[in-house]
Every structure is written in structure tokens, then in C-alpha cells.
Amino acid sequence: MALLALGPVAGFSQSPAPKVTAKPAAKAAAPVRSRTSVQYAKGFTLSYVGNYKVLTILSPFEQKTTATRYLLLPRGTARPTGFTEAQVIELPIRTLVGLSSMHVALADFLGASNILVGLGSFQYVSAPKVRQRITEGKVLEVGQGKQLNNELLVAQHPDLVMVTGWPGESLPRFQTLAAANIPVLINSEWVETTPLGRAEWVKVMAALLDKEDLVNQKFNQVVRDYQRLAASTRNVAKRPTVVVGMPFKDVWHVPDADSYMAQFLRDAGTTYPWDKTRAPSGSLALSFETVAPVALAADYWLHTGSTKSKAEIVAQDARYTAFAPFKRGMVYNNNRRTNAEGSNDYWESGAVRPDLVLADLIKILHPELLPTWQLRYYQQLK
Amino acid sequence: MVQTSVAPSTRLARAATYRRGVWLVVLLGLVALGFVLDIGLGPVRIPLPAVVDILLGNPTDTPAWHFIVQQIRLPKALTALVVGSGLAVSGLQMQTLFRNPLAGPSALGLTAGAGLGVAAVMLASGSVAGGFAIRALGVGGSWALVLAATTGAGLVMSLVLVLSARLRDNVVMLIVGLMVASVTGAIVSLWQYFSAPEQIQEYLMWTFGSLGGVVGNHLLVLTTVVGAGLLLAFASAKPLNALLLGENYARSMGLVVGRSRTLIILSTSLLAGAITAFCGPIGFVGIAVPHLTRGLLRTADHRVLLPGACLLGAALTLGCDCLAQLPGSQTVLPLNVVTSLLGAPVVLWVVLRRQNIRSSFS
């Protein structure tokens, strides 16, 4: 852990070195004690300067030109000079409004789900503690994505609003909140190209909560487990062929080589036909005809949309019965942990526990490697 | 003097009939060519002899080719045939009935009604009663979509039929259709506004139109309904001819206008409703093909125009589907994009060449 704390690891783009020589703050605050560093994620950088932290979210779509910078200051300290364009977030944040299930997962991973005071939609929440808070009326529903209920947010005045970054997204859209001094943080974790990179966004949350020690401990455990599992498949005798996803009429979207799903499949010891094909959007829109030959002969079929049984697959399109995995019953979907509201925990806790997801995949594809593992997110369709 | 003037005009008429006959045969050839190309071409390269072998039921070494030709390409080409002719005929009927060159299958709000039905399934599923109600009926997957789209189109059709019995004016009917489309469109927008992005994406995919996914029972149902609609349309060729001259004139010729109109609207509803239900709103074919047919056959006689539109619609849709599959590429383009990109310039060319399109409608 001490090694990790040494600072930015080579290999990820560091923002222009903050030249501000740690000016003595107006109120003498203790310098930040514990630190963490980013190893896998490419969407943000974190640096420690004096008693504050600089968090930079890199726009994955326009490279660094639209990077958004945040100054994370201990509560009550004066704003340092420089970083004129940066938003200030006072630490630790005590109340958070999160718009995606990923944000729930980030808070829950650090045992801080009680800071959630608002959500985009109640429908997509799995964490029992958050559901409990919703029932108790402690959480507001502030509207999804593009239609934030600004009045509700201004009245509530949370310490931070976390939004999901989309292509072309920019902060000016949140002018009203900025005018009300509510910081808005763009989180684009979903563009990460590896499962560990995606999960590492918990470090953003940890920096906001001053929980670096905890995140180092917990995330490093996830990394160790993930890498041990990935290593176990490296020399498997057979790498089964998998086909992923569910077509809609003519179009079959499959993950491209740079997606975290493709990395999962590599680490799980599979033969994935589109392992070398790249697309700007992270997924390939292929014609049904292109994927069909693979699906006909594949060993496994994963992620079959919203289906929960083979009968539901047949109801979608009777042609799917011709696929070899369907005939041999090797169809697995990632919706075992779907609650009554229709929210799938795979997209929530699964996002920050890639070790568990990988264990599931290995259990499915190489059952002999994990004889005692019980599937957590996946289920076999009967 | 009289004799000399009659003889050339008869000869001219005969020549015109002959020319139309030739065109119809050429169109038939185009349909056959399009059909063969649509089955022969695709992202996966299959040699033509192998395609023929598979179609004849002979075994080949590659089982995947069997699946692709029999389960993907053949149903899709058949769907293109049915969809193309159905949409073209329904467009022709609408343009004549409303005496408006801009009318199309969507003019009565049928497409919008079907879209509303689909939105009810896709955007409400899992949250609001709508989706659950349809699932409770035991209708799964794609049938749920078809059922919803048919219900939506059917509701709009009933409304239109009731109104058409009361309203004498076809222009008023056209406005009613546009307004119904506006209202349903607004409801869908409202629904989208409150929906999750992935649901909206699914709905958006549907609005792009697609010939894939119509297989087995779906194809049977689609063909039956469109066949019935086409029969009704062909039966109404004479009333359509009379309507071209205006309702009063048609009435003076002894046509029961109200009944003919109901027949035509029913036929269009069957055609456009069923096709939208199975394939999504496929734009442009319905508006463009009637104009192309009139330009090609140079006649206003629906006994010639109807079969002409059928053939041309089928050929055009087959051609567009070939392009949408982009031979050599693994991606597939939305059919709506191809029909519009390809169709609009052609229609412009025809319209600009003829200049006074109004003469076809009066």
C-alpha cells in the first residue's frame, strides 16, 4: 500500500503539473494524510497537492481538451490560487445525489450509501441499504439524465451531484446548479476499456469521502482476486467459443475489442470472435447474418437481453433454437440478481466487483477451475 | 378526313398499351432479379451455385450457409416482396383517394397508431401496467410487438372509419389523419421523455424499419393480411379511376362513393397496419413508388397502375435491402435510411421532368 501511495503511476496521462506551490491556506489545515493512485482507469486522474486534491475527469470523446477539473478542498479552507476554471468540492462530501446505478455502487462499495440523498430514478437500485432509505423517505427522486429537477436539487442542496457523462456532454448544461453553488461531477466510468479500470472509479468516490485507506485496502483485494482468477485461465486446454448479446431483428450488437466485456472474455479464457475488431462506440452493430454462423456453432451464449428462460428466447425469435448453445442448454444470462422493481444488480454491484463477475464467467466456462463457486450474477436459462 | 384522324390515334393507343405491357414485363424481370440478388448477396459470401443448391434442398458442406439462406435471406426477401408491394399499393390508393400527391400510408395516422402500440410495449415494459397487461396475455417477445402495433393501428383505423362515414370531405379526412398522427406522436414523445435511454434506443431501432425477424408464422400472417389488402385494392381499381375525377363526378357515374371510400380505407389500413406491425414504419416507399409508376407507365388507369406499383414497390424494396446489407461489410444499415437516400432523388427527377404532377389528380 505504501508503494501505491508514492504518486502517479507512469502510463496514464497526467494533467499539466499543478504549479501552485502549496500556499498556506487561510486556515491552517492538516495536509491530506492518506493517498491513493490510479492504475487501471483512463478516464480520470487524481493528484495530491498540499492539503487539497485535484481530480481531473478526462473526456473520452474529445481527449483532454474538455477535461473537467475539480479542486477537492477540506471543508472551510480557502480556495488556492490557480485552477480558475476548476470547480470546488468541499471534503468530505456528506450528501450526494447520484444519477446512475453505478453511483449507488460506488458509495455502497465504501460503506457510504447513507450519503445518498437523491437518485435519478428509484427503479434502478439494488443495494438493500439504499432501498431501505428509499422506503424511509430519505431519498429524493430527481429525474433521469437530461431532465434534472433543478428546483428539487436546489432546495435539497446536496454537497455533490454525480452525473453520467455522454458524448458532447458539457458542464454548461448544469448552469442552474452551478449558480446555486452545487458542484456537478461528470462520471464517465462506462467508457473504460477494462473491468478493473471501470471498477477503479471507486477511487473517485474515496477521494470525495476522504476514504483513501479503505479504498486502497478494498480495491487492492479486488485487483488481487481478479488477477489470480485471470491467471488461472491462462493455460486452459480449451478456450470455448462464446457469442454475446441478443439481436434485435437485423442487428446484433456485440462488444468490440476495446470494451471491458471483451477483456472479461479474454480473462475468462474464451475464444471471442470479435476480439480484434475495434469500433469507436465500444460495440459493433453487425448484421444477424454475420453473427449467425458463430452463434450456430458456439459453445456458450451469454447475455441474452432480458430473457429469464429458454421459452422467452424462443418467443423472441424461433430461429434462435438452431444455435448450438441453445440446443445444449449452455445459455447464461447476467440477471440472476434482478429484484422485484426490475433492477439488475449486475449493473450495480457487479460494476465494482469485477472479481465476482469473472469468477462467475470462469465457473460457467471452466467449471473445473472453481468447483465450489456459486454463481452470483449469472444464471443458466432452462 | 374523319377516318384518317381516328386511325393514327387508335394506333397511338395501341402503341401505348404495348409499351405499358413491355414495362410491366420489365418490372417483373426487375423483381425477379432483385429477389435473386437479395438472396445471393449478403455480408457472408456464399457462392451462387451453393445458394441455388440450398434453395433446391440439396445438402452442402457448410450448415451455417443453410441457416443463412433458408432462415435469414429467404424470409427476408419474401418479406421485401410483400412489404414493397403492399406499401406501394396503399400509397397509390391514398394519393388517389385524397387527390393529393403527398399522401402516403402514414396519411391516415395508421403508422403513428402502430408506433404508439409499440411504444406501449417497449417503453412501459417492466414499469407501467401496459407492458404487464400484454405479458399477462402470454404473448411473448416479437408477437407482443406485433399485437401491440396491430392494436394501435386498428384503433386509429376504427376512428378513421367512423369519421369517414360522417365526413364528406377527403381533405378534412387528410387533416384528421395528420392530427391523429400528431397526437400519437406527442404521446410517444412524452413516453420517451420519461423512459430510460436503453428503452428509447430499442424503440428507435424499431422506427428505423427492418425486414429481418419476419419468419415462420410471422411471414404467414403478414402475407395473408397483405394479400387480403391487395385483393381489396385490386377490386377497387374502377372506383379509384372514378375518384380521380372528383367525388361528385364519380357519384354522377353511379359510384356509391361512401362504400368505395370505406373499402379503400380498409384496404390501406390492412396493408399499412400489418406491414408496420411486423417491420416497423418503413418510410418513403409508399409515397415514392406511385409517382415512379405513373411516370413510367404514363397512365392514370388504376387497372395498370395497381399491378405496376406492386411490381415496382417490390423491386425497389428488394434493391434497397440489398444495399442495406452492404455486401462485403459486416454492418447492416437501417432500411429507412436506404429507401429515403435512394428514393428521394429518383422521385425528384421524375417530378421535375413532368413538372405538372397536378394533371394526374384532376
Q: Is B348 within a domain?
A: yes
Q: Is B137 within a domain?
A: yes
Selected residue of B66, B204, B205, B335 to mutate for chain A interface (largest A Cβ count, 10 A): B205
pLDDT of residue B1: 44
Taking the CA of residue A128 and the nearest CA in chain B, the distance in Å comes to 20
CA dihedral A83→A86→A87→A89, nearest 10 degrees, is: -50
Selected residue of A289, A335, A381 to mutate for chain B interface (largest B Cβ count, 10 A): A289
Domains of chain A: 44-223 (3.40.50.1980), 234-380 (3.40.50.1980)
Interchain proximity B42–A289, CB inside 8 Å: yes
**Is residue B247 pLDDT above 60, yes or no?**
yes
Q: Which of B44, B71, B194 sits opposite A319 (nearest CB)?
A: B71
**Is residue B138 pLDDT above 50, yes or no?**
no
Q: Which residue of A has its CA nearest to B204?
A: A248
pLDDT band for A377, please (50, 70, 90 cuts). very high
Task: Give the integer Cα–Cα distance in Å for A271 and A244.
Answer: 12
pLDDT band for A168, please (50, 70, 90 cuts). low
Q: Which of B63, B212, B215 sits opposite A318 (nearest CB)?
A: B215
The pLDDT > 90 percentage for chain A reads 46
Provide the domain limits for residue B127: 16-361
- Amino acid found at A86: A
Interchain proximity B67–A287, CB inside 8 Å: no
- Which residues of chain A does B331 touch, with a Cβ-Cβ cutoff of 8 Å? 284-287
Q: What is the mean pLDDT of chain B?
A: 81
- Locate cell 496521462: which residue? A13
- A342 dihedral zone (left: phi>0; alpha: psi -120 to 50; beta): left
B14-59 pLDDT, tens per residue? 888 888 889 999 999 999 999 999 998 888 888 888 888 888 888 7
Taking the CA of residue B330 and the nearest CA in chain A, the distance in Å comes to 6
Q: Which residue of B has its CA nearest to A279?
A: B331
Q: Is B41 within a domain?
A: yes
Question: Of A29-43, A178-192, B206-220, where does mean pLDDT reach its minimum?
Answer: A29-43
- Locate cell 456528506: which residue? A94
Q: Is B3 within a domain?
A: no
**A292 part of contact set with chain B, CB < 8 Å:** yes
Region A103-115 average pLDDT: 93
Which range among A172-181, A235-244, B326-335 has the greatest average pLDDT?
Answer: A235-244
- Which residues of chain A does B216 touch, with a Cβ-Cβ cutoff of 8 Å? 318
| Pairs across A and B, CB distance < 8 A | 93
Q: Is B262 within a domain?
A: yes
Interchain proximity A317–B141, CB inside 8 Å: yes
Interchain proximity B43–A287, CB inside 8 Å: yes
Q: Is B154 within a domain?
A: yes
- Which residues of chain A does B143 touch, with a Cβ-Cβ cutoff of 8 Å? 315
What pTM, to 2 d.p., does this model score?
Answer: 0.81
Instruction: Look up the CATH number of the domain holding residue B286.
Output: 1.10.3470.10
pLDDT of residue B133: 44
Interchain proximity B210–A123, CB inside 8 Å: no
pLDDT of residue A19: 43
Q: Is B241 within a domain?
A: yes
Question: Of A98-107, A173-182, B73-82, where does mean pLDDT reach its minimum?
Answer: A173-182
Q: How many domains does chain B have?
A: 1
- Amino acid found at B314: A
Alpha helices in A118-211 (DSSP H): 128-135, 150-156, 175-179, 195-199, 202-209
Measure CA B165 to chain center.
Answer: 25
- Amino acid found at B292: L
Contact (CB, 8 A) for B30 and B84? no
- Which residues of chain B does A288 touch, with a Cβ-Cβ cutoff of 8 Å? 72, 212, 332
Contact (CB, 8 A) for B87 and B267? no
Task: Give the integer Cα–Cα distance in Å for A244 and B119.
Answer: 26
> What are the phi and psi torsion angles at A209 (to 5°)?
-100, 0
Interchain proximity B71–A251, CB inside 8 Å: no
Q: Is B4 within a domain?
A: no
Q: What is the mean pLDDT of chain A?
A: 84
B145-167 pLDDT, tens per residue? 777 787 888 788 778 778 877 87
Contact (CB, 8 A) for A126 and A343? yes
Task: Give the integer Cα–Cα distance in Å for B203 and B192.
Answer: 9
Which range among A56-60, A163-167, B276-280 has the greatest average pLDDT?
Answer: B276-280
**Is residue B109 pLDDT above 70, yes or no?**
yes
Tell me which H or E stretch contains B286. Answer: helix B285-297
Q: Which residue of A has its CA nearest to B44?
A: A290
Alpha helices in A64-182 (DSSP H): 101-109, 128-135, 150-156, 175-179
| Complex prediction ipTM | 0.76
Task: Give the integer Cα–Cα distance in Å for A305 and A100.
Answer: 19
Task: Give the integer Cα–Cα distance in Å for A91 and A53.
Answer: 10
Nearest in space to B300 (alpha carbons), one of B102, B72, B96, B63: B96
- Which residues of chain A does B43 touch, with a Cβ-Cβ cutoff of 8 Å? 286-287, 289-290
pLDDT of residue A332: 95
